[in-house]
Structure 1
Amino acid sequence: MNNKQKYTVTAALPYANGPIHLGHVAGVYLPADIFVRFLKHKQHDVAFISGSDEHGAAITLRAKKEGITPQAIVDKYNKIISDSFEKFDIQFDIFDRTTTATHKETAQDFFKVLNDKGAFTQKTTEQYFDEEHQQFLADRYISGECPKCGNPGAYGDQCEKCGSALSPTDLVNPVSTLSGKTPVLKETSHWFLPMERHEDWLREWVKEGKLEGIVQHDPKKWRNQVLGQCLSWIDGGLHPRAMTRDLDWGIPVPVEGADGKVLYVWLDAPIGYISATKDWAKANNKDWKDYWTGDRKLVHFIGKDNIVFHAIIFPILLKEHGEFILPDNVPASEFLNLEGDKFSTSRNWAVWLHEYLERHPEKVDELKYTLTSIAPESKDSEFTWVDFQSRVNNELADVLGNFVNRALVLTNKYYDGVVPALGELTAEDQKVIDAMKEVPSKVEELLYNYKIREAQSEVMALARIGNRYLAETEPWKVIKTDPKRVETILNLSLQIVANLSILFDPFIPGTSAKLRGFLNMEAFKWEQTGSIELLPAGTKTNKPSILFPKIDDEFIEKEKEILAASQKENESIEEVEAEDEKVVAPQKEDIQFDEFLKMDIRVGKILSAKKVKKADKLLELLVDTGLDQRTIVSGIAKQFDAEEIIGKKVSVLMNLPPRKLRGVTSNGMILMAEDDKGNLNFIAPGEDMEVGAEIR
């Protein structure tokens, strides 16, 4: 492999309309980080680029839902996402944003170049329009039934179930996500990318990896699902796709006659890779063009739902522009499922990375190792907490941790921590040495071919070899009869540990650093791997600590409870109470007036408020009812900040039986009004009403 080969590696820009979950991490960001760490160990010139995608209808939808501005939404989630990556030790060269001045300028210039070259066609078409809200509906403002797989929750641009790219008019029984009503068709003018013009060269480029004037790629290294989806699209016939939208949030279309129109997010977003590179290059005294032109490999790590955008649409745009390289590879992953079901942000069926890190900041490498072990590279896979426990206990603790601990503890016990000299080698020793020498080349070949899960498995196989070597040679017994033999056994064992400290570095870098700390290895190079001279005899090692504490059943049960609780938090407070206590059911039948009189409703005043731990929707309130000061749990945390409701007078249903919600006993209910969009407001008594006054 040419060590001078240059790489620009991108990881899909996450939408800044919510946090990231383990499915995103396993499919995109962790494999990309591992690949880049490896490239840097091999001394490649590489830039690792990502950032938050901060435009598009998904952002405005979230803003409407939370009742704040789109800018406030992207500021909030950009921080959550970027902090999560930092704490999880994903080392981008830059994690940028698509709301920067550099990005706006870059995206508009890109559009103008293509427009001047005649890459677009402008035409008037009918587009869905919401009469109640008096606005055209961008793709994500429309949902309906997917015409290809029947998924009833497909969006106007994509079905997230089958991965098909769609147009709004493709949907069966479309509805507006704003009003919930059937939209009407109304004329509007947009700029379209006539993708059908590009079918011939795209087919040749994807299938053969060759194209005149374009750096060649090896299609054999492309994953089958990527090739299959691309060729299916091309062979099925490409169609024009609008590159502009009627929205008030996004990059304004920089030509006359485009008032009120912004760039389509899938034109805007991938250009974010280029604008981010510009900002990074400027800050590091580099020329950004070096990373997007010439003899350089461009690699996009994405999920399978983004294949068409990165392997068809973006390449068309890059080629039409004329100054940029096309992707060398698009290693798209399949989906990671969770405990027998798909990850779902709408149903809150997810393990959110930032929440995991808040609970377990000391267990970063445990999660990295597990997610890489089950990486959905070629088919869907599944994360379960039981499997997480098994991999930590049986592999990280019992294999890697056990081997490292025994090798170092015995060295401390017999040689005061000093690496003994290598003596005469037996056939058994030579077999171990030969296996150790083979591992680096196997790992390198797999990583260069984007088989990251297998590469990690090869490194762990070396730890298994070491573990088995110690178990079979039994130095704790041999020390009594042949102490010189033990010197060789422990020297080789420590050389294996030293090799593991380098080979594991792309995968579990925190653990690798600990290993080097145990061995007093201050400097290292990847090229040294496979050597039995990594650790010179006479080196003073340090006493080891436990690398991986075992995961007990209580840990797993708690995580399962948190996941189950997240489903209840996603329901109304009444549903939560009904499921938790099985006593409050939805009211369906008429009641008698005498029954209504039994309800004791009074004016209360909120004295304090705070969020209930691990419950996104619940606030714990201390309420003065006139009769007493009581704790009431209310499911209003999504609509109200705790600080803003202190001192507010509310209507309190007093005589509900106490019930426990997320470990907090609630003694009553705050009465709320809810509209058809799920917005809540207090049923508030007049300000002149005294606390304790009865409401009849």
Structure 2
Amino acid sequence: MSEFNRVLVTAALPYANGPIHIGHLAGCYVPADIYVRFLRAQNKDVKFIGGSDEHGVPITIRAMKEGVSPQQIVDRYHEQIKHSFEQMGISFDIYSRTSSPVHHETAAAFFKKLYDDGLFEEKESEQYYDEKTNTFLADRYIVGTCPVCGNGNAFGDQCEKCGSSLSPEQLIDPRSALSDAIPVKKKTKHWYFPLQNYEAFLKKWILEGHTEWKNNVFGQCKSWLDSGLQSRAMTRDSNWGIKVPLPDAEGKVLYVWFDAPIGYISATKELTENWADYWCKEDTKLVHFIGKDNIVFHCIIFPAMLKAHGNFVLPDNVPANEFLNIEGDKVSTSRNWAVWVHEYIKDFPGCEDVLRYVLCANAPENKDNDFTWKDFQDRNNNELASIFGNFVNRTFVLMHKLCGGKVPKLHTGVLDEKDKSIIADIEAAKAKVQTALENYRFRDALYEAIDLSRKGNKYMQEKEPWIVAKKLVEDPEAQKSIDNCLHLCLQLTANLAILINPFLPATAKKMLHMMKVVDKMLDWDNAGKINLLSVGYSLRAPEILFRKIEDAEIEAQIQKLKAGSQQKPEAPAKEAEAKVESAEAVSALKPEIVFDDFAKIDLRSGTILSAEKVEKADKLLKLQVDLGFEKRTIVSGIAQHFDADTIAGKRVIVVANLAPRKMRGIESNGMILMAEDAEGKLIFVNGEEGAVNGSKVS
């Protein structure tokens, strides 16, 4: 990487037509962030560019379903997506949007430059048209019966039930998604980019110049090039998007895949006045992180556009990942078969690094992979908590117990073979992690970092400083063995913080706090050293880095996933209703029940008498509730929303006839009804002030 003076990293622009799910994170955002954090630790000149793609058919379809304007859709989801990325530690230097004025100007100017240079072909063709709404129909606006599986609601480009790629001509009984009218063919004019004119350039640039690209990327590019490239329309008939900057182009906008990648350029313009250094100087390394469905656009179409325009650097690498399935099934937003990032953050507060870890350790780098909640639990409990977290915790506990809470001296004269071996392991780990990261093998890099903690555990177990401590009375020299062991374990811990920082940044910060050192220690140059913590330096008490995740939490997520996928598709919202709706998507209703189901529930008014934290359970409070006719013990998962000493006297509604259930060894006899406010914080559903404890709620 020494030949490059700066690095520009982009991550695919997500459509602002809905929340992001963990498939998005695994596909490109987590690996991109790991790579950028690694470069920053090396003090490289790097810029990390992201933003929302706010044009195109998915936006208008979502707006049509909800009965609102496309602008309302993108405003809502841009903010939600941006917040989700921030919560997950995706450290963009800028997260922009393609509705920005800078982007509109940049994309229009890019198109006009190619037009003025005579590089477009102007063609008239027949396209599907809805005569009821006077609208040309993109493929996604046409629905009908899939000829492969019989799904009656297949789109004109794909059946989301069986996954078959389609064209509108293949649909049985096609109809307009706008009006149900039967579409007709009508002539329209568009501007086409002749990709075939750049075929020779692309073959030389990719097939000869970038054989190091990942097999899935190189193979897909070769297949496209071997099949021969064709002219591709770069404009569309629509009123939503960037208007074609020509006098005879009324009702036409730039094709979203012409517009969207230019968003990387316009976002860089917003970020820095020196934007041209990152796009136009040959000593810039440009890296696109994407999912496999975007390979052709980032490796064929966008590079051809950049070449045609001139003066721009071309991507050095496009490390695309495959797809992440969930519980053995493909992610489907239409079926709500997804793990939504904003919901994960609410359900597992403080566990953002755990998700980053699991998605990297199980990343679909070379083939589609599967996320399961059981694997999520196992990796957290058996790897993060029991290996990594356990080593750090034991090291600090023993340092405080056997060395007075300070970094002990390293007695070089009495180092044994085990000591020398762990020193070699510490020194070698840096190169292993670095080589893997530089070659975009993030799973391998993460394994090497975690493996160092495995070696630390093995070393400590073999040295047994707690056993040696029992011999100090008869052999005071044994303290040197204890000192050496814990000195090296502490230096290994410091190295773990450096190596793990690109992957688990919040965890690295916690470790810095425990070691009482500043962020500068995380510089990559410090990795592999065994003098990072000074002898005699006092360290803080250990913190638990990773809590155990309980079976009940995992079962709740599995049931949530299954229940969500059974919901009926949402009906379009009326305009008036949409205006008063919160910007946050409203939770889907549970399956319909009948009156007899509801009549079985016995709701009673009550008062909380006392509350206390449940040991080793971050979310649980043990409540004593007065129901008038008796006092009940109820365990409630509200500890992260209320302090135990502030809720005595609160009036509540209790499900009084819920079967008893043991939680953390405590029998819970009921459930407290709660609601969420606009920020997602739990609030009590209160009984009326005048209501008598135990009175029925109906």
Bigger mean CA deviation after superposition, 504-513 or 564-573: 564-573
- String of CA shifts for 1:578-607, please: whole Å, max 9, x gaps: xxxxxxxxxxxxxxxxxxxxxxxxxxxxxx
TM-fit CA distance, 1:176? 3.0
The aligned residue for residue 131 of structure 1 is 131
How many angstroms apart in 1 are the aligned matches of 2:333 and 2:546? 31
Structure 1 position 462 matched with structure 2 position 465 = no
CA contact (8 A) 2:80 2:584 kept: no
TM-fit CA distance, 1:92? 0.1
How many angstroms apart in 2 are the aligned matches of 1:125 and 1:104? 27
Secondary structure at 1:341's aligned position in 2? coil
TM-fit CA distance, 1:5? 3.5
TM-fit CA distance, 1:140? 2.5
How many angstroms apart in 2 are the aligned matches of 1:610 and 1:62? 16
Letter of the 1:492 counterpart: L
Structure 1 position 290 matched with structure 2 position 267 = no
How many angstroms apart in 1 are the aligned matches of 2:444 and 2:433? 8
The within-5 A match list for 1:233-312 is 233-282=224-273, 286-312=274-300
Letter of the 2:465 counterpart: P
How many angstroms apart in 2 are the aligned matches of 1:466 and 1:196? 57
CA contact (8 A) 1:163 1:304 kept: no
CA contact (8 A) 2:8 2:278 kept: no
Change (3 A) 1:72 1:228: same
TM-fit CA distance, 1:117? 1.2
Structure 1 position 344 matched with structure 2 position 332 = yes
The aligned residue for residue 541 of structure 2 is 543
Higher relative contact order, structure no. (Cα contacts within 8 Å, ≥ 6 residues apart): 2
How many angstroms apart in 1 are the aligned matches of 2:74 and 2:525? 43
Change (3 A) 1:172 1:472: farther
How many angstroms apart in 1 are the aligned matches of 2:570 and 2:168? 31
The aligned residue for residue 381 of structure 2 is 393
CA contact (8 A) 1:47 1:291 kept: no
Change (3 A) 1:618 1:237: same
Q: 2:422 aligns with which of 424, 432, 452?
A: 432
The within-5 A match list for 1:193-592 is 193-209=193-209, 218-220=210-212, 222-282=213-273, 286-423=274-411, 424-481=414-471, 482-522=478-518, 523-524=520-521, 525-570=523-568
Change (3 A) 1:275 1:544: same
Give the number of aligned pairs: 580
Bigger mean CA deviation after superposition, 86-95 or 293-302: 293-302
Change (3 A) 1:264 1:571: closer
How many angstroms apart in 2 are the aligned matches of 1:297 and 1:144? 45
Letter of the 1:304 counterpart: K
The aligned residue for residue 616 of structure 1 is 588
Letter of the 1:411 counterpart: M
Letter of the 1:349 counterpart: W
How many angstroms apart in 1 are the aligned matches of 2:432 and 2:144? 48
The within-5 A match list for 1:89-104 is 89-104=89-104
Change (3 A) 1:611 1:201: closer
Unmatched 5+ stretches in structure 1: 210-217, 574-608, 624-629, 632-662, 666-696
Letter of the 1:280 counterpart: L
Change (3 A) 1:479 1:68: same
Change (3 A) 1:162 1:455: farther
How many angstroms apart in 1 are the aligned matches of 2:71 and 2:240? 9
CA contact (8 A) 2:243 2:253 kept: yes
Letter of the 1:324 counterpart: F
- String of CA shifts for 1:525-549, please: whole Å, max 9, x gaps: 2111111111111111110111111
Bigger mean CA deviation after superposition, 294-303 or 175-184: 175-184
TM-fit CA distance, 1:664? 12
TM-fit CA distance, 1:509? 0.5
How many angstroms apart in 1 are the aligned matches of 2:309 and 2:403? 66
- String of CA shifts for 1:582-637, please: whole Å, max 9, x gaps: xxxxxxxxxxxxxxxxxxxxxxxxxxx9999984236999x9xxxxxx99xxxxxx
Change (3 A) 1:12 1:384: same
Secondary structure at 1:125's aligned position in 2? strand
How many angstroms apart in 2 are the aligned matches of 1:611 and 1:138? 28
How many angstroms apart in 2 are the aligned matches of 1:150 and 1:343? 20
CA contact (8 A) 1:7 1:291 kept: no
CA contact (8 A) 2:258 2:302 kept: yes
How many angstroms apart in 1 are the aligned matches of 2:461 and 2:161? 49
How many angstroms apart in 1 are the aligned matches of 2:289 and 2:161? 20
- Normalised by the length of structure 1, the TM-score is 0.79
The within-5 A match list for 1:12-23 is 12-23=12-23
Secondary structure at 1:230's aligned position in 2? helix
- String of CA shifts for 1:498-530, please: whole Å, max 9, x gaps: 000111000001001111111112231211111
- String of CA shifts for 1:282-337, please: whole Å, max 9, x gaps: 4xxx3444344322111111111111111111111110000211111111110000
- Normalised by the length of structure 2, the TM-score is 0.78
Secondary structure at 1:245's aligned position in 2? strand
How many angstroms apart in 2 are the aligned matches of 1:452 and 1:269? 27
Change (3 A) 1:288 1:358: farther
TM-fit CA distance, 1:178? 2.3
Secondary structure at 2:316's aligned position in 1? strand
How many angstroms apart in 1 are the aligned matches of 2:494 and 2:325? 35
Unmatched 5+ stretches in structure 2: 472-477, 572-580, 596-601, 604-670, 674-698
CA contact (8 A) 1:519 1:541 kept: yes
TM-fit CA distance, 1:161? 9.2
- String of CA shifts for 1:441-475, please: whole Å, max 9, x gaps: 11111111111111011100001000111111111
Letter of the 2:127 counterpart: Q
- String of CA shifts for 1:115-169, please: whole Å, max 9, x gaps: 1112210010011112232210123323568999999977556788999988756
Change (3 A) 1:32 1:159: farther
How many angstroms apart in 2 are the aligned matches of 1:564 and 1:442? 41
CA contact (8 A) 1:518 1:542 kept: yes
How many angstroms apart in 2 are the aligned matches of 1:22 and 1:240? 35
Change (3 A) 1:146 1:445: farther
CA contact (8 A) 2:427 2:528 kept: yes
Structure 1 position 2 matched with structure 2 position 25 = no
Change (3 A) 1:58 1:169: same
Secondary structure at 1:329's aligned position in 2? coil
How many angstroms apart in 2 are the aligned matches of 1:528 and 1:3? 23
CA contact (8 A) 1:175 1:182 kept: yes
How many angstroms apart in 2 are the aligned matches of 1:289 and 1:342? 41
How many angstroms apart in 2 are the aligned matches of 1:162 and 1:297? 39
Letter of the 1:2 counterpart: S
Identity of paired residues, percent?
Answer: 52
Structure 1 position 36 matched with structure 2 position 26 = no
CA contact (8 A) 1:156 1:171 kept: yes
TM-fit CA distance, 1:27? 0.8
TM-fit CA distance, 1:280? 0.4
How many angstroms apart in 1 are the aligned matches of 2:111 and 2:373? 47
CA contact (8 A) 1:294 1:325 kept: yes
The within-5 A match list for 1:45-56 is 45-56=45-56
How many angstroms apart in 2 are the aligned matches of 1:38 and 1:366? 19
Secondary structure at 1:128's aligned position in 2? strand
How many angstroms apart in 2 are the aligned matches of 1:21 and 1:617? 20
RMSD: 3.0
